[in-house]
Structure formats: structure tokens, C-alpha cells
Structure 1
Amino acid sequence: MSRFVDRVKIDVVAGNGGHGCSSVHREKFKPLGGPDGGNGGNGGDVRLVVDPQVHTLLDFHFRPHARGTNGRPGHGDNRSGANGDELVLPVPDGTVVLDDKGNILADMVGEGTEFIAAQGGRGGLGNAALASKARKAPGFALLGEPGEERELILELKSVADVGLVGFPSAGKSSLVSVLSAAKPKIADYPFTTLTPNLGVVTAGADVFTVADVPGLIPGASEGRGLGLEFLRHLERCAVLAHVVDCATLDPGRDPLSDIDALEAELAAYRPALDADHSLGDLASRPRIVVLNKVDIPEAAELADLVEADIAERGWPVYRISAVAHQGLSELTFALAEMVSDYRAKNAKPVARRAIIRPKAVDQGEFTLEADPSIEGGFIVRGARPERWIIQTQFENDEAVGYLADRLNRLGVEDALVKRGAKPGAAVTIAGMTFDWEPTTPTGDAVPITGRGTDIRLERNDRVGAAERKVARKARRAHSDADSEQALGWDSDDLDDE
């Protein structure tokens, strides 16, 4: 049994970037082949794409987790890793993407519109790409970045030309069933319609869509009944049609009071998207009033009484009977004319292009703030330093030295000096805490030692060969002096002899 789902929560995880490779070219008769480690591949993105063949979010209801493919690591001989495959998720036209806090991220209208739900991690650079004048054969490579992980909310707002508005059991579903090939559930009790129904209507050469939403009641804009949940399906409708039940048996209701009550709810509801405001608020959309069930004599008499009052408001009025198929042709062509007027004034939505917003030149690369949990400590925040921390192999001293060079060139050390940081102060970046040494020079001024090491980080207590030789001579001289004293010899006596 098919189900209509118009709101889901999904978890999207992009693929991780592959690690770079640390390799040195080895070939006979070429002892200095140089670094040849390739770069890691980028992780696969997770993209949402509008597909006209998809009409509901049902697939996401059963499969709310989506993950991209990881990038492959680099290899020696300058071979880069393969990029991860991106994951494309089709969504229906009119899908709105929100984050976990309810902020609108994308309004996907038009076939082919795309939105990157999660960005794949960038692959790490191999040591061939890290080689420089000062570091000709790096003994390290950069790690790949993890893919972006997000929790998103998808809401579907039906893209229909005409929206049918009315109280429960007003005959909206019956009207859609006779105007189009749609087969909504129809019964003689209120709130039979629990999900929106879309129907395609043909009037001569014009074709338009009609949306039937669940019945509205007073207080719908404040969450009463089912109105608030489905009022969003009316936001994109160019024409609103009031379907009035002229044969209602409720003594407290009449067509005029029903219209006034629904108009109050439409006026109180505000679309969440600026794009939907371009059509005007729901209270200002073009109206048409449909007096239904006039095949009943009492309903026809009531329609005669209220038709003139409704016409005074400037709204077209049509009397129909969905059951007896009365007045449907006139209503169909009237709706087609109103939709054609709207289309003539508004361009058809097309796939929206991605907008690239360059970063301002004077925008800071990082911020420095005091660490509330460590006395005298500081926290560095920023996209670049936090990304560098993720890319660093901390078990490799040369990689740590390279990180220190990058942070120094970025101006982190100068900022710490201005803030009065003391030597040995705790500096935290992306959850990693370091002891700051203010005299750390840049990589260009540091003599490069063995691969995978950095002279600034070396803490070697081993005695060198030169020091051992001096100590050995001292021990020998001391041993000779002790021997002479034991034999009663004097150096002056030896000289006389």
C-alpha cells in the first residue's frame, strides 16, 4: 500500500578523503630518486536532485541514512588515489531542505535543481606535493579529511496551480476525482483526506494541476486539526478555490461563515520561504468560490441566497455538483484561464544554478580566545587551522614541525604574543592541546634532519661519538695519574731521567 510522506529527517554522511602517500622513488643507479608519494582521492559528496518522477519522500522514511563513498589513499610512483563515488538522492519538486535547528538551507524547485547535502572530505597531499626548497624529501604525508556529516529535515511543498480549500467533507476530494484521473479516498465522514492529493486537469489546450489538502478548521494556522501540517502545500498555489458545502447539516454553519473562517486562517498563516512570498501571502492570492452539492434542492436554495453576497467581494462564483457532474466544464475553463494569467505574469521555474560567494579579502582566517577551562590557555578557532590539525600525523615529528610552520605563517604565534601568552601556555586547536614555544622558527630557517624527524622536536639524551671520545681521554688521563701516585713516581723525576 502506497503512503504519502511529506516530512522526514535524514542523516547524510559524505565520504572521507584518502590519505596521502609518503614514498621515495627507488630505482637502480638512481640513489636520489626523490619523493613520489601520490595524493589521496576526495570523498564522495551526497547530493539531492529534483526528479520529476518522484512525488513523495517515502523512500527516505524507510532509508533515512545515506553515506557517500570514501576516497582511496595515494600510492608511490606519483599515483593518486581514486575519488569516491558521489551519492545522488532524487527528491520531488518543491522539497525544502532544513538543518536540525530549522534554518532553511535550500528550496528545490524546478527539474534538475541540485543541493550538496554533505561535502566529501578532501584527500591528503602526498609527500611529492609537499616537497619544497627547504624540505626536498618530506618523510610524511597529509591525512585525508573526514566527510561532512549532517542531520537534515526534508519538507515537501506540493507544486500545484490550484489549491482547494474547504472544511472537512466539503467535497474537495470528490471534485478532484471528477476533474482529473486522481482517485483519492472518498467517504461520508470528516477528515477522510489525511494526505494531499494532486490531480492533472485538461481544459482544451491548457493543462494544470489541482491540489486537494485535508480539511481546514478554525485554528488551523495555530496547529489545530491537520491544517498547520498541510497548509504548506497551499503556499505555492497560484489560485485558491474555496469549496463550500451548501448542504451541510450543521446548524452553526453557512457558506459565508465558512468562507470567513477559512479566510482568517489563510491570513494568519505565513509562508516560511521568501520565494513563496513572491506569489503574495495566501490572503492575497486570486480566489474562486465553488458552491458544491447544488443537486440537492435545499443546497440550491442556499446557493441562490449567498451567491450575490460572495460576488460583491469580487470573487467569481460557480455552482457545481461533483456527484451529478453539474457545472464542471464552466469551472474547469475558468480555472484554466486564471492559471494562464498567472503563468503569463510569472516565468516558469527552472533549475537553480549554484551560487559561489567568494570570501572577503579582509576576513580573518582564525580567531583567538582565552580558554575558560585552562588558566593562561588559549583556543584557536578557524577553518584552516582546524583542517590542518585533522591532516597531521602526530606520531611523525616532521609532520608536527610542518604544522608548526603553517600555523606560524598564518599568524597564530604573533597573535599569541599580542595576547600576552606565556611560554608553555596551553593552546588548543580542534580539540588538540599543545604547549606553546614562542621561539619556534619557520621551516625555511630550520636545518632539515632525517626523514620523519624535526630538530625542534628532538629530545635525544644519547651521548654522541665526539663526546664519548673526550670522556675516554679524560678517563685515561685520570687513570695514568692514579697509577703514578701508587708507584711513588713523580712527573718531575720522570723528566730528570
Structure 2
Amino acid sequence: MTTFVDRVELHVAAGNGGHGCASVHREKFKPLGGPDGGNGGRGGDVILIVDQSVTTLLDYHHSPHRKATNGKPGEGGNRSGKDGTDLVLPVPDGTVVMDGAGNVLADLVGHGTSYVAAQGGRGGLGNAALSSARRKAPGFALLGVPGDLQDIVLELKTVADVALVGYPSAGKSSLISVLSAAKPKIADYPFTTLVPNLGVVTAGETVYTIADVPGLIPGASQGKGLGLEFLRHVERCSVLVHILDTATLESERDPISDLDMIEEELKQYGGLDRRPRMVVLNKIDVPDGKDLAEMVRPDLESRGYRVFEVSAVAHTGLRELSFALAELIAASRAAKPQEEATRIVIRPKAVDDSGFTVVQEEDGLFRVRGEKPERWVRQTDFSNDEAVGYLADRLNRLGVEQSLMKAGARSGDGVAIGPEDNAVVFDWEPTVMAGAEMLGRRGEDHRLDEPRPATQRRRDKQAERDDATQEFNDFKPF
């Protein structure tokens, strides 16, 4: 049964925004008390956050589809809808977030680091929020915006200071078990280690983490064995330690050829051959192993490597190795610049950026693309003429109509707003009032402004007096 997963494809959906409400306040003696429709609630976000208690992406391997809750619609009486609840997904420290094309979206390192993978949709405005001095009684409200739908890839890269690399059965797991409190699986057959193991080592005042990576074989960088699956766990490590087996039973292998092979695989993978490295000659407790270590040590030192002879079984040479690693780690940490807790990236827009583009396609269709026009289209109830007129006014104020004219659009030409797979297409008629003309100016109700006939006013006053008299009689004491 799979217990460790370090790469998953996740399908996340943010919550949809709630629709705004179109309502008119009504009470006794106030048949037209004005608009009182509330706004819709915001949809919930999908947020990835680093949690130190999480060490694998296994949960998302079994359940790759995650969705936040939707915002509630607004109601009459100026009651806004409830916002959707954010969906918080804990991920291991060192998780890289990428899109389907492999572009890095976020690199989550450090407890509490978060990233909004999918943003919830805005809630639609109710007619109370849409009212103004010109538009006193809007007969429509805006729809909620759908939440983002994202297909992302989560890839875990282990956060450790030291990585142990070498052939299968070179003794990496045995070494990490005696240097730290980690208890990896140890056996006398290849590929015993199937997942990276982490251990914490204390050497004097320096505390560092050490990772045992599954064994590498020739061609690991191209996918042979388990190397390609786990070489990415070496990328974040500051120091690489070659574990060379001096007691191998394979006649075609020796420590020098093993080192050359591992170095070539690190180079082929990209960038790993430039990390600080040292060499550990392991299994010197075996008589032949001790002799071979003494034989190859001068050659390794001539290449510039710092060499240690150890035995994980006999606990020989471990103290010297742990303090040497601590020295390298301390130097590496001191060389790194101090990073600010919060990094703000500012991407200013160009001064001539209008927020949208108008392009004529090969078939003669004019396509409008832009965050605002596309969002406004999604918020429009096209079954309501007044809402359509409000959309036309907004697009006109943004400059879409003027840009269409500059692009060569003529009356009756087709115009599409949005991407090809989800666009609103219509025949363009410039400078035409698209609203509810029967109400005069868009969003205005003539009943609120025009004086009532004298006969009607007298009838209304008489009705009010009759109602007041009836209420007095109902509550008159006996």
C-alpha cells in the first residue's frame, strides 16, 4: 500500500459568488420605499498552507478534487449573503506548486507559508448598492462571479541540509540511523529505501537535518531505477555526501567507478554537481573494506574531496564526520543572504494599458478580452433588459465601443466578449440605448418622480385616514 507520495495533480475549485438581490422595500403607506436588495456573499478561496505535521501528499493522491463553498445570495431588507468558507489544504514543507505546463507558481518553504491556489468569485451587487442619483430604482441585480477552476501539480522537494547519495546497499540508511534518531528500513538487498528518510543531527551548537535518498544506478537521471523520482529531494540540500561501499561483492564495481557514475548522474540531472560535497568510505569494519579504503583515499583526496572512513556497524569515525558536516552547514548558512519574512512583488501596469484588447479574427469576428469586460459579462442577467443596458453603459464608459470603432467594426458586425470556449457573442449596434427604454433613463422608475394626478392623491389620503381610524377603533379600550 502506498504510504509516501511526493507528486500529485490536484483539481481545485473556488466557491462561486452569491447573486445579488433585486428587491423593493414595501411597508404600510410606503408602497415604493426604494431598493433594498442585499449583495451576494464572496465565494471561498482554496488556500495551500505549509504544515510541519504533514510529510506526504498522500491525501491528495486519493482525493484530488477539492472545492470551497459558495457564497450565499443576498436578500431583501438590505441583507447581504454569507461569504463562502475558505478551504485550507495543508501541505508539507518544501512543496512546489506548478501549473500543467510546468511553470512554477509558488515555492512553499517555511511553516505557515501560504498560497491562494484558486480565488473565490465576487458576490453580485444588489439593487440597493446599484442605486444612485441617476438610477434611483434599479430593477436588476448583478450575478455572482464563478470561482476559479485550477489544475495544479504539487511536487514535494525535501527540505534538508545534507543528502546522502550513492549506490543501493551502500549503507546510507545504516549511516543515518546511527547519526540521528531516524529508524529507516535496513536490509541486505538493493532498493530497501523506497522513500526519503529524514533525521536530525546535533553536533556541538549546530543542529542540521540529513536525508537518506533511495539508491542511484546508471541512468537514474533518465528514469532508471528510483533515481529520477527522488533526485528532486536533493535539490534543496546544501551539502551532498557520497556514500561509497568499500565491501561490495560485485566484481565490476569499486569506489572510484561508483563515484564517477553518481557524479555523472548529478550532472545530467542539472546543477547538483556544483554543490559542496564530501566522500564517506563506508564498511571499513570489513577487513577487505579497510584495505580498499586506504588504497583509494589518496586518489579521492587528489580530486579535492574531503574523505572520511567510517563504519555504521562499529560506530567508527562518526563523530568526526558529524562535526565536519556541521562545519560545512554553518558556513553555508552564513553565506546565504537573510531573506525577509514577506516578499512583495510589484508588477505595475503600462501607462497606456486600457484593461482590455480588441482583435479582429480571420472570420471577421471582433473579440474583446480583458478582466473587467469578461467579469461584467458573467455578472449580467441577459434575461433582464435593464441589466443588459447597464452592461452596455459600463462597456461604453470603459471605452470598448470607441475601441471597436477604431478597429474597424461597423453596425451589425459580430462581437465576442471572452475566450473562444466561453464567450458572449452579439451583433454590435453603436450608440444604441440597450436598456429598458420604457423606464426612460436606465435604472430610473418614473413612478418615483412623476407627480400623481390630484384625484389619485385625494384617494390615497382618504385611504390613509380610513386606515388610521380603523387602527384607533381596534385598540380603543372598552
User: Under a length normalisation based on structure 2, what TM-score does the superposition of the two structures give?
Assistant: 0.87
In structure 1, distance between residues paired with 2:443 and 2:397 = 21
Q: Is the 8 A contact 2:357 2:368 kept in 1?
A: yes
Q: 1:323 maps to which residue?
A: 313
Moved more, 128-137 or 388-397: 128-137
CA contact (8 A) 2:389 2:442 kept: no
Q: Which amino acid aligns with 1:292?
A: N
AA at the equivalent of 2:329: V
1:463 aligns with none
Which deviations, in whole Å up to 9, do the C-alpha atoms of 1:63-121 show, x marking residues without a partner?
21111111111111222111111011111110000111111100111111110010000
Secondary structure of 1:248's counterpart equals coil
8 Å CA contact 1:20–1:141 kept in 2: the answer is yes
2:253 is aligned to 253
Distance in 2, matches of 1:227 and 1:348, equals 32
| d(CA) in 1 for partners of 2:359, 2:42 | 32
- Give, in whole Å, the separation in 2 of the partners of 1:176 and 1:11: 37
Out of 345, 364, 375, the residue aligned to residue 387 of structure 1 is: 375
Shift of residue 248 of structure 1?
1.2
Are the equivalent residues in 2 in contact too, given 1:109–1:350 (CA < 8 A)?
Answer: no
Choose which of 272, 283, 290 in structure 2 pairs with 1:293. Answer: 283
Amino acid corresponding to residue 181 of structure 2 in structure 1:
A
Change in CA separation of 1:77 and 1:357 when aligned onto 2, cut-off 3 Å: farther
Note the alpha carbon deviations across 1:141-189, whole angstroms, 9 max, x for none: 0000001011111000000010001011111011111112212122222
Q: Determine if the alignment matches structure 1 residue 428 to structure 2 residue 420.
A: no
Give secondary structure in 1 for the equivalent of 2:153.
strand
Letter aligned with residue 400 of structure 1: V
Q: Are 1:333 and 2:333 matched, yes or no? A: no
Residue pair 2:374, 2:417 contacting (<8 A) in 1 also: yes
Task: Tell me by how many angstroms 1:452 deviates.
Answer: 7.8
Q: By how many angstroms is 1:224 displaced?
A: 2.4
Query: Runs ≥4 in structure 1, deviation > 6 angstroms?
Result: 450-455
1:349–1:179 Cα change, 3 Å: farther
Does the CA-based 8 Å contact 2:240-2:277 persist in structure 1?
yes
The answer for unaligned runs of 5 or more in structure 1 is 271-280, 456-497
1:168 aligns with 2:168: yes
1:103-252 equivalence runs, <5 A: 103-252=103-252
| Counterpart pick for 2:333 among 317, 335, 343 | 343
- What SS is found at the alignment partner of 1:307? helix
Q: Is the 8 A contact 1:111 1:351 kept in 2?
A: no
Q: Cα distance, 1:56 vs. partner?
A: 1.1
Tell me which amino acid in the other structure corresponds to 1:338: L
Q: TM-score with structure 1 length normalisation?
A: 0.84
CA contact (8 A) 2:24 2:76 kept: yes
Match of 2:47 in 1: 47
> Are 1:438 and 2:430 counterparts?
yes
Matched residue, 1:396: 384
Largest Rg, 1 or 2: 1
Match of 2:263 in 1: 263
Give the aligned partner of residue 298 of structure 2.
308
Rounded to whole Å, the distance in 2 between the matches of 1:421 and 1:348 is 55
> Aligned partners of 1:294, 1:349: CA distance in 2, in Å?
42
Aligned equivalent of 2:274, options 260, 284, 295? 284
Give the aligned partner of residue 401 of structure 2: 413
Letter in 1 for 2:193: T
The 8 Å contact of residues 10 and 153 in structure 1, kept in 2 or not, is answered as yes
The DSSP-based 3-state class of the residue aligned with 1:326 is coil
Contact 2:137 2:444 in 1 (8 A): no
Which deviates more from structure 2 when the two are superposed, residues 28-37 or residues 40-49? Answer: 28-37
Query: What are the ranges of 5 or more consecutive residues in structure 2 without an aligned counterpart?
Result: 447-478
CA distance in 2, matches of 1:367, 1:2: 49
Q: Structure 2: how far apart are the matches of 1:360 and 1:122?
A: 26
Tell me the distance in 1 between the aligned counterparts of 2:382 and 2:301.
78
Once the 2 structures are TM-superposed, how far is the Cα of residue 348 of structure 1 from its aligned partner? Answer: 6.8
CA separation in 1, counterparts of 2:164 and 2:56?
20
- Secondary structure of the residue that 1:218 maps to in structure 2? coil
CA 419–451 in structure 1, closer or farther in 2 if over 3 Å, else same: closer
Contact residue 136 and residue 445 of structure 2 kept, 8 A: no
Partner-residue secondary structure (3-state), 2:96: strand
User: How far apart are residue 454 of structure 1 and its match?
Assistant: 11
Pairwise CA RMSD of aligned residues?
2.3
Mapped to 2, the partners of 1:407 and 1:348 lie a distance apart of 48
Give 2:22's aligned residue. 22
Task: Find the counterpart in structure 2 of residue 467 from structure 1.
Answer: none
Query: Aligned-pair distance for 1:28?
Result: 2.4
Distance 1:56 1:350 in 2: 27
In the aligned structure 2, how far is the partner of 1:381 from the partner of 1:351? 36
Relative to structure 1, the CA distance from residue 349 to residue 60 in structure 2 (aligned partners, 3 Å threshold; closer, same or farther) is farther
Question: Cα distance, 1:347 vs. partner?
Answer: 5.2
| Aligned counterparts of 1:446 and 1:358: Cα–Cα separation in 2 | 41
Distance of 1:122 and 1:426 partners within structure 2 = 29
Inter-partner Cα distance in structure 2 for 1:446 and 1:145: 27
Tell whether the 8 Å contact from 1:137 to 1:451 is kept in structure 2 after alignment.
Answer: no
Shift of 1:453: 9.8
Instruction: Write the distance in 2 (CA, Å) between the matches of 1:434 and 1:174.
Output: 71
C-alpha distance after superposition, 1:429-468 (max 9, x if no partner):
232111211232598x97844998999xxxxxxxxxxxxx
8 Å contact from structure 1 (residues 113, 353) kept in 2: no
* 1:278 corresponds to: none
Q: Note the C-alpha offset of 1:326.
A: 1.5
SS in 2 for 1:404: helix
Counterpart among 367, 372, 381 of residue 357 in structure 2: 367
CA deviation digits over 1:271-328, x for unaligned, max 9?
A: xxxxxxxxxx322211111000101111111101111111122222111111222111
The 3-state SS of whatever aligns with 1:251 is coil
Q: CA deviation at 1:341?
A: 1.8
Which amino acid in 2 is paired with 1:434? F
Residue of structure 2 equivalent to 1:12: 12
* Structure 1 pair 311–101 and aligned structure 2 pair: CA distance change class (3 A): same
What is the Cα deviation at residue 2 of structure 1? 7.1
